[in-house]
Every structure is written in structure tokens, then in C-alpha cells.
Amino acid sequence: MKFYLLFALFLGSTHLVTTAAEDGSAAERQRPPLSLVVMDPLARPLSCPCVEGYAQRKYEKLADYLEKKTGRVVRLAFAESLATALEGKARGRVDLIIGKDSVVRADCREAKIEVERFAALTDKEGKTTQAGLILVARDDPAKTAGDLAGYRILFGPASCDEKHAAAIAVLTAAGVTLPEKRETSGACSDGACTVVDLGPAGHAAAVISSYAAPLLEGCGSVKKGDLRIVAETEPVPFVVAFASNSLGESERETIREALLAVGEEPELCKALESLIGFVSIELEVPRDEAKNEAAEKRRAVEEPAAAQPISWPQWRGFHRDGLVPSLPANLPTRPNIVWRRPLGGSGLGGIAATEKYVVFGDRNLPDTRDLFQCLAAEDGTPLWQVSYEATGTLDYGNSPRATPLIHEDRVFCLGAFGDLTCVDLETGLLLWRKNIRQEFGAREKLIWGTCSSPLLVDGLLIVNPGAPEASIVALEADTGDVIWKTPGARHAYASLIVATFGGVRQIVGYDRESLGGWEIASGRRIWKHIPEYEHDFNVPTPLEIGEMLFVATENNGARLFRFDAQGRIVQNPIATYENLDPDMSTPVILGNRLFCVYSALYCLEVDASVARPISFEDDAEGSPDPTVKTGDTSIRQSRFGALLHELWVGEDEMLPVYGAVIGGKQRLLVVGRGGELLLIDARADRFRVVSRQRPFQQDGGKDPLYSHPALVGTRLFLRGETELICLELSDARP
């Protein structure tokens, strides 16, 4: 059987090309060309076009880019091996090598060339690693690696870590005794085809590289379903850039900086089939080392907590209220963009950030996997990513809706299909994972996905699977173990909060049918409020205002509630405002002013002075029955006066149906259509835009951005349709 993946590889040893720029100016020719050898098996000249958009990396584009960045002519050579390149167009000299990590290192040892590995190329999912896949024939009885005892196993060459050393480690750990002399096959197709030809009776297995798996069927070497994976090795580095000792220190640094800036060039990333270009090799932490460091960190005795640093660690900031200590008096005339990073696609989930880290959810380009990424807050450098398969079809796309939750040295990430992960913040090491819908039996079809951002309180991670016996669940944050679960209705889309009403600290939020409060320690439901009009989507997050609770939904409008001395809601609202009925937007409150975007900016005045807890004896219309529906509110409006009234409604063509709002002292920052920023005077007696800024320049720019930004100090982390940017809001240039 013929494997067309290697058709170009067989030609690759002689397919050595140079860029057209080799005929550059006379001044450039005075400097020796920069010799770049590409040994990446997914490079276009070393592969074949059998799978659309895959294994066609255009390194000619990278060569052009490096010429502009370094001012030197680039001599580009493609080859399977370093020896072949040196004998060909590389002309005995190599400055930069890009290829499979283990193969390049082995070839450099053979050629006695000293190299430094300093940048790794990310794939379309943002990964810099690959793994070995151990395959058997479709009907082979083997199910696991341990079942391969006595099998004929075809490994890859010793220079291919994923097909050799890593595979040997997996099989040895499974108790399989291997022969002293191991059988190898040079190409993935050779081993795979041998296994298919021998069939189940041949008791044979082959180890292939994970990057080659899509090409086996795509090139027609094997038919779909002919092979089955029984084991996967630990991931190993894949495509890495190496600099040889022929380069001086300053030249190395120039090239390093150029490679690390590839992520800022969307077209170049596309040409390289890469999500975010190259990342620093220094950011990679060996798996065992990362695991040991994380364990040591958990065992360490914690020092007394220092003052809380400025951060935006969860949905709507530190206290889930959308407030920051301050906002600038004015926005800079032009956007001060500190850094920008391309994204796999548009997204709905918010951003969590500290002074060191920026964490957000994304999707891979085929839209089959969730991809949570962590960037360095200072310069946007990718630090780690966590990815897993998450397939399905949801309205508004499949990207994560929930904002990640950063707490101390951990981050909790929730995908739209219910996948919940706990990750070490510094290393990206996965600590635990579960699917909250599958584990707790939520069976009803998802329409908009799992949206509520996880809530951490008293060491408990609160999530809402929406299952009949587990409407809301508390998990032990360190382990993911279930502490309690409480029955109820399907999940709603708003996030939960912790608030104190009537002296009772409680979890407050929605299920699909009602508003409610739950005991933190036990999950017992304290109260339930069913609104007058049914079928609210329950997307905006409730807001604590002193001793009152403010809610706003599309069918029942804006309402203020008070509570009795036992922390139970008084069923009839003490104030209403029907004109504010947002589908999605959550308000913020500054002083006694409440602001919310809903095709305009609403400014309401709230009088919280009368919101003392009451007993039912004090109020004849109050009801101890926690399920009584809302009734007539006219008497309550006349008794308590104008507790909630309109100050002004500001209209602007850039204000969408949904808009994130951040409040800080005398200013509001509103994210308008297309990401346009509006800085609003929060104290004015009318709608007054102090300044505005348009950080994204995409055509049109009329659609709302559904991802809530994060503001840490004076830096705003804002997600657009195709990129995430860091904006400096102060006048100081980055």
C-alpha cells in the first residue's frame, strides 16, 4: 500500500529552494545569507495536499518575514535530514533550523553542530506538542497497551521520541516485555499499512505520530476505520526553532524576537497553520517537574495573606459587581495597544486577569475542542493552554460562555457543554476535570449552553448543572469532590452571587423557573420567587444593593426586593421600572445610581435608605410562603415612594442591545458596538460621553461584543471578533 504523505518526503531530500529575495540589493549581498533549514514534516514541500488546510505550511512566507525583520537575505532549504540540507542548498552552513525537536537534536549531534532551542511553533489548537499513537487493526482483540504482550510492535526510529522512547515507556509501564532489538519503520504509513495487511491474526501493532494521523486516511493509505488506537504516549515537543552557534548573541536575539512576534501577524500564522505563531521555549515546563512543583506548592504552609492585589479574577471583577477603584478622567486620543493576540474565532465568555496572567476560553479552528489559554499580562506571551474535545451545536456558536475563575494558584474553567476543569495557574497542569451535565444527569437538550460562571465561596465551588436532583451543586475546590447537591429546575444562564440579606449570608441566583436563595453550607433552599410573567431567559446577574436585591429581565422588567429577618425574600417587589427589560445586560451601581445598557444607557436612582429587614408582622402583605407568585404592587409603590426612578436615558448609535459596563468613582466605561469604548460621566444630570475610542478597526463594527472585558489597574483586556488586545487606558504610552 502506498502512503502519499511521503511522496513529497521522498523528493524532500532534493527539494531545496531559496527565496526570491536572495537576489537582494548589493548592500544586502555584502552580508552572508541567513541559512534557514526547514525539517518540519508539515511543511508544504515535505508533505502532500491530501487534507485541505493541513500539512501545507508555507515557510516561504516566514522567510520573507525574517528578511524584513533582520535585513538579511534568507537562504531557505527544505529537507528530511540536516545532512541532506548541508549537502544541498544550505551549502554546508546552517544558522536556523525549524523541525521536529527530537530529529533536529539527533541530526545536530551527528553533524557536531551546537544549537540552542528557543522557540516552539504552535499548531492550529495552540499546542506545541505531539504524542505517539499505538494502533492495532480494527478487529484486533487488544483494548489497552497491556494487551500487547507478545505482539509484533513496529516503533519509529530512535530519533523520533513520540514513536520510540515515549512508546517504550508506555508499554513498559503496562507490563509488556519488549525484545532487546526493536523493529522500526521509517514512516508512519509503513507501520500502519503493515498492521492493516496482517489484520487481527497478525497480532501486530504500530506506533505513529499524532500529527500524521489525519493524513493516513486523507492520503488513502488506509481506509476509515481500518485502525484503532489502544494507547497514547505522553506529549513531547513537536516543531521547534533552533539557532546554531554560527549566529552571534545579538543576531540570535533579533531572530528570537522576530519569531515570537509572528503571533501578531494573522496572515503569517495562517500560512504556518498556527494559532498564535511561535512561543518561547522557556515557557515550557516538563510535565513531571510541573506536577512536582504543583504538589509542593499545595503542601507548603501558607504565609499570612498579603493585601489583595488589583485583579479581575472572575465574572464582573473581584466582587462580581463590575466595579474598579477608579477609571481615567479621559481616554487617550488614540488607542494605546500594548499587545494583541489572534484568536481561533469570536467568543462569548469573559476574561479573567491578574497583574501576571490573562485567562480566557476559545475554540480550535475545526470547532471541535474547547481551548482555554493563559497569556502573560505584561506582553501577551502564551504561557499554557488546556484543550479537550467538546462537540455539539449551540445557538451563538460553541465557544465557552462562562468566565474563568482565578483563585490563588488555581483557575477553574467551564465550557459550554459542561466540561469543568481545575488547572494550576502557573503551569497549566490539569488538577481535576469533570463534566457537570453528564455526572449529575442533566439530560435536556442544550440550546445556549452552560453559561453561569463558577462561584467560589468558603472553599466550595458552586456550579449549576440543572439536573433534577442536582440543580445546584457544591464541589470541594481542591479535589472536585461533591459536597452537596440540591434538587430543582433546569439551569438558568445568569451567574450566581453571594449576598447577605436579613443577616443571612446566602447564594442567590436563578434556575430556569425562579429566583432563589440557598444555604452555603448545605445547599438547602431558603426561598423561591416565581415572577408574575413566565418564560424569562434569566441571563442578567442579580445585584445586591445594600439590604435589597435588584433584578432585571426581559418579561418582568427591573425590580427591587427586600427581605425578612430570616433572610427570605418578600414576594412583592418594593419598586419596579418596566422600561428597563434587558435580555442579557447586567447593571452596575455607583453610589445611588444604577446603570445598564439596553439599546441605550439607562441611569436609575435607587433609594436604599428604607430597605431594612422586616418581619411579616410588620407588613401585612408579606407572605411566609416562599412560592407565592408576585401580585399587585400598586400599594407597595405608594407606601414606599419612588425608590427606583429614571434620571435619564442616553441614546447613542454605538450602544447595542447588550453592552458590558464597568464603573469606577465618577466614570463609567461602556463597551459599545464593535468594541468601541465610551467613557461616561456618572455624576452628570444627563447622558454625557466624556471621550470615546475605537480599538478595533474591522469593517462595519456594528455588532455587539458579548465577551466581558477585564480591567486590571489601567490595562483593559478586551476580546474582539478575531483578536484579544491589551489597552493602556492611561495617557502613558506602553
For the sheet containing 74-78, what is the strand order?
74-78, 34-39, 96-100, 239-244, 115-121, 278-280
Reply yes or no on whether the pLDDT at 638 is more than 70: no
Rounded to a whole number of angstroms, the distance between the first and last alpha carbons of the chain is 58
Q: Kind of pairing, strands 405-407 and 382-389?
A: unpaired
Using DSSP's 3-state secondary structure scheme, residue 85 falls into helix
Q: Grid coordinates representing 337?
A: 495597544
Yes or no: say if 315 and 403 are a contact pair by the CB < 8 Å rule: yes
Cell numbers standing for residue 403: 468566565
Distance CA 490, CA 512 (A): 5
**What is the C-alpha separation between 129 and 234, in angstroms, rounded?**
10
Out of 306-315, 316-325, 689-698, the most confident range is 316-325
DSSP track, 270-283: HHTT-SS-EEEGGG
Q: Which of 459, 368, 376, 467 is nearest to 412 (CA)?
A: 459
CB 576 within 8 A of CB 528: no
Query: Which pLDDT tens digit goes with each residue over 548-572?
Result: 999 999 999 999 999 998 999 999 9
Helix (H) or strand (E) holding 322: none
- Give ∠ CA 558-564-566 in degrees, rounded to 5: 125
Q: Which grid coordinates belong to 298?
A: 499545595
In this predicted structure, the answer to whether residue 435 has a pLDDT above a threshold of 70 is: yes
| One-character DSSP codes across 151-216 | -EEEE--TT-GGGTHHHHHHHHHTT----SS-EE-SSHHHHHHHHHHH-GGG-EEEEEEGGGHHHH
**CA proximity to 588, closest of 519, 703, 481, 680:** 680
Lowest mean pLDDT among 78-92, 407-421, 468-482: 78-92
Length in residues, the chain: 734
pLDDT tens-digit profile of 579-591?
A: 999 999 999 999 8
Locate 330 and state its grid cell: 479621559
- Within 8 A by CB and 6+ apart from 717, the residues are 312, 351, 353, 358, 377, 709, 710, 711, 724, 725, 726, 727
Select from 367, 317, 396 the least CA-distant residue to 663: 317
pLDDT, mean of residues 79-103? 89
Closest among 427, 399, 426, 402 to 352, alpha carbons compared? 402
Pairing of strands 357-363, 369-376: antiparallel
Q: Exposed (0-12), middle (13-18) or buried (19+): which is 201, by Cβ within 10 Å?
A: exposed
Tens of pLDDT, residue by residue over 333-387, are: 899 999 999 998 788 999 999 999 999 999 998 889 999 999 999 999 999 999 9
Determine phi and psi for 321, rounding to 5 degrees.
Answer: -120, 0
Query: Three cell numbers at 75?
Result: 537562504
Give 273-304 pLDDT, tens digit per residue. 998 899 887 444 333 433 343 333 333 322 22
Q: What is the pLDDT of residues 354-369, one digit of tens each?
A: 999 999 999 998 889 9
Identity of the highest mean pLDDT range in 24-33, 66-75, 693-702: 66-75
Q: Is residue 214 pLDDT above 70, yes or no?
A: yes
For the chain, which domains are there?
Answer: 4-123+238-283 (3.40.190.10), 129-236 (3.40.190.10), 286-314+349-450+453-492 (2.40.128.630)
β-partners of residue 242 are 97, 117
Question: Among 86, 549, 632, 541, which Cα is nearest to 314's?
Answer: 541
Average pLDDT over all residues of the chain = 85
Q: Under a CB-based contact definition with an 8 Å cutoff, are residues 247 and 255 in contact?
A: yes
When pLDDT is cut at 50, 70 and 90, the band that residue 26 belongs to is: very low
Point out the least confidently predicted range of 22-36, 200-214, 234-248, 663-677: 22-36
Q: Report which of 422, 206, 346 is spatially closest to residue 704, judged by C-alpha positions.
A: 346
Answer yes or no: are the C-beta atoms of 215 and 16 closer than 8 Å.
no
Helices 59-70, 249-260: crossing angle, 10 deg rounding: 130
Q: How far apart are CA 120 and CA 114, in angstroms?
A: 18
**C-alpha cell of residue 243:** 539557532
The pLDDT value recorded for residue 701 is: 60
- The full DSSP string for 236-248 is EE-EEEEEETTS-
Q: pLDDT tens-digit profile of 110-153?
A: 999 999 988 999 988 778 999 999 999 999 999 999 999 999 99
SS3 640: helix
Determine the 3-state secondary structure of 579 from DSSP.
coil
Alpha-carbon distances, residue 564 vs 501, 629, 680 (angstroms): 8, 17, 37
pLDDT band for 326, please (50, 70, 90 cuts).
Answer: confident
The pLDDT of residue 180: 87
Query: What one-character-per-residue DSSP string does 495-544 give?
Result: PPEEEEETTEEEEEEEBSS-EEEE-TTT--EEEEE--SS------SPPEE
Side by side, the strands of the sheet bearing 677-681 are 661-664, 667-671, 677-681, 689-693
Q: Which residues fall within 8 angstroms of residue 634, CB to CB, at 6 or more apart?
A: none
Q: What is the DSSP string of 1-50?
A: ---GGGHHHHHHTT-----GGGG--HHHHTSPPEEEEEE-TTBGGGS-S-
- Cβ-based neighbours of 723, under 8 Å, separated by 6 or more: 266, 340, 341, 342, 343, 696
Compute φ and ψ for 165, nearest 5 degrees. -60, -45
| Confidence grade of residue 18 (pLDDT, cut at 50, 70, 90) | very low
Letter for the amino acid at 77?
A: A
CB 446 within 8 A of CB 492: no
The pLDDT score that the predictor gives to residue 660 is 96
Grid cell, residue 507, equals 447564594
Query: What letter would DSSP give residue 705?
Result: P
| Strand pairing class (183-184; 152-155) | parallel
pTM of the model: 0.58
**In this structure, which amino acid lies at residue 542?**
P
pLDDT digits (tens, 9 = 90+) for 692-726: 999 997 544 678 899 999 999 999 999 998 999 99
Provide Rg for the chain, Cα atoms.
Answer: 29
Closest CA to 423 of 471, 474, 360: 360
